[in-house]
Structure 1
């Protein structure tokens, strides 16, 4: 249990799974609501939701690292845009 002033909770992965909950959250729930709350948080861990979240975060980081110059202009991550030779101008009549 942690003591920030606002109600909050997190289901944490690991062996064993953990649920972190603020005292403000616990005080805001009555008996049946508290039971439903813990069932909900346990379902996150039992459902492997942390794996889905980790995969989404990895995909987002990978996309950011391989973004095209049109998406993100970062000298460290994006190559310079290709240059084209100038087009020949048509001859003009005098």
Structure 2
């Protein structure tokens, strides 16, 4: 996880702990080409030691930091992502198993 995060975002983390494991009906999604997918997401809580974003390859189209308020106002979040966000906003540290 640390290597992937550094390669794709330039972020380097000090510690990581499990925030949640998310699955279930909310994990289903459809791509524009008609492919149907199922996602199981493992979410980590981390401490960043060098919080400078650096886009390093074609895997990321854009990188940015957002405030909590900006996330709450985002209507384009997939329902799978929304429940992760709601758990984070609750202030509970988890880990969540959903």
TM-score range, shorter chain: under 0.3
Q: Which has the larger radius of gyration?
A: 1
Greater share of strand = 2
TM-score, normalised by the number of residues in structure 2? 0.21
TM-score, normalised by the number of residues in structure 1? 0.22
Greater share of helix = 1
Tell me: higher relative CO, structure 1 or 2? Use CA pairs within 8 A at least 6 residues apart. 2
